[in-house]
Amino acid sequence: MKKSKPSTDRAVKEHNKNYVYLDVMRVVAILAVLAIHTDAGSLYLKMPLGSISYTVCMFISMFISFSPVIFFMISGALLLGKKETVGELWKKRILKMVIVLILVSLMYLLFDMLYDMEKAAPAKFFASLYSEPRIAPLWYLYAYLAFLITLPFLRGIASVIDEKTGLYFFVLCIVLRYVIPSVEKLFGNVYHMEGDLRWDWIMNTVVVFPVLGYWLHEKADMRKIKRIILPLAAADIAALIYYTYLAYQKNVAQGINAVSDSFRGKINLFHAVCIFVLIRVICDGKISENKKSISRILGESVFGIYLIHGVFLDRISIIGRLRDSFFGCFNGITLLIPSVIWIAAVFALSFVSVRIAKKIPFLNRLI
C-alpha cells in the first residue's frame, strides 16, 4: 500500500511550526528598514549636538542597524540547505530576480517621469540599471542577485557546517570584526595584521550572513542558546551602548553632526545574530494558530513592501505634504511620535498595495 501524502493542513502546520519565527523576523526587519528609510534612524541629526535626546536617537539608529543584513540571514536559512541544479537556480531564482529588478526600476522611472524628475531615455535606463540602483534601497536586489549567483558555492560551505564548525565560523567573524581592530587600537594602530593573513572574504555580506543564518536555523543547538539568551541580550545592549558612545564621542569631539554609518556597519554583525536568536527563542513557545496565520500573511508580503515602499516615501506629492505638515507640529525628542506613526502609515500603505498586486497572477509569482 502506498503511503498517503501529508494533507494540506498538516503541511501548513509544519510550515508554521518550523518557520513562523522567520516570518516574524521578516516583519520586524522591514519595520526597521522603514525606520531607516523614513529618516527615523537619523533623527539625532535634528537634535542639539551632545544632548540627551541626541544620544537617545543615536542609540535608536544603532539598534535598527540589523535590518538589511538579517534578510540575508533568512535567505541563508531557507536556501543553503536546498538541492537544485545550476540550471534550476538560474531558471527559478536568478531570472526571476532580474525581472523583478527591471520591473521595479521601471516603476520608479515612471514615477520620476510623472513628476518631471526625469525624461524618458530607454538606452540611459538600461545603462544606469547596470551601473547603479534606480533608488538607494534597491541595492538589496543587486546584492541578493550576487548571493543567488554564488549560491552553489555557499551550499558547498553549508554542507560542512555543523554545530561546532558553525560556531568556529562565528568566532572567526567576531575576531576579525571586533577583536583584532580593538587590539590594534589599544596599541595606537601602530601595528596591523598582514593583509595576506586576513580572512576577509568570509566577511562579505553575501557570505557571512547567509552562512550564519543557515547555522542558526539548521545546526545550532537552541537548548544551549536558550540557556545563554539573557547574557547574550545583555552583551548586545552593552555593545550597542558602546558603539553609540564611540559615535557620540567622535561627533562631539569634532563638533559635527555626522551620520554614523561606519559604526552601524561595525555593530550589525553581532547585533543581527542576537536579534535572530532572540526572535527564534521568543517564537519557540506556544503560539496560537491565529497569530501564526497573521505572521505568515505579513511575512509573505515583506518582499513586496520592500520593493514598493519608496513610492510612498517621496514620490506622491500629496503624501509628502501631509507628512511635512504633520512633522512640523513636533520638535526635539517628540519627533519620535510622528516618526513611529509615519513608519506605520508607510507599512500599511505598502502592505495594502502588495496584497492588491498579489491578486494579479504574474505579479503574485514575482513578489
Sign of CA dihedral 30, 35, 38, 42: negative
In this predicted structure, which of 15-29, 210-224, 232-246, 337-351 has the lowest mean pLDDT? 15-29
Residue 365 has pLDDT above 90, yes or no: no
- Give the mean model confidence (pLDDT) for residues 157-171: 94
324 or 350, greater pLDDT: 350
Reported as a pLDDT band with limits 50, 70 and 90, residue 1 is very low
Torsion (CA) 283, 243, 66, 148 in degrees, nearest 10: -130
For residue 117, pLDDT over 70 is answered with no
Q: Is the pLDDT of residue 35 over 70?
A: yes
Overall average pLDDT of the 301-328 stretch: 84
Determine the pLDDT at residue 114.
76
Q: Which of 209-218, 251-260, 284-293, 308-317 has the lowest mean pLDDT?
A: 251-260
- Stated pTM of the model: 0.89
Half-sphere exposure of 212 (CA within 13 A, CB side): 29
In this prediction, residue 10 carries a pLDDT of 45
How would residue 116 be classed by pLDDT, with cut points 50, 70 and 90?
low
Mean pLDDT for all residues in the chain: 87
What local confidence, expressed as pLDDT, does residue 122 receive?
67
Average pLDDT over every residue of 116-141: 79
Domain ranges of the chain: 52-314
* Res. 259: pLDDT tops 70: no
Q: Is the pLDDT of residue 303 over 60?
A: yes
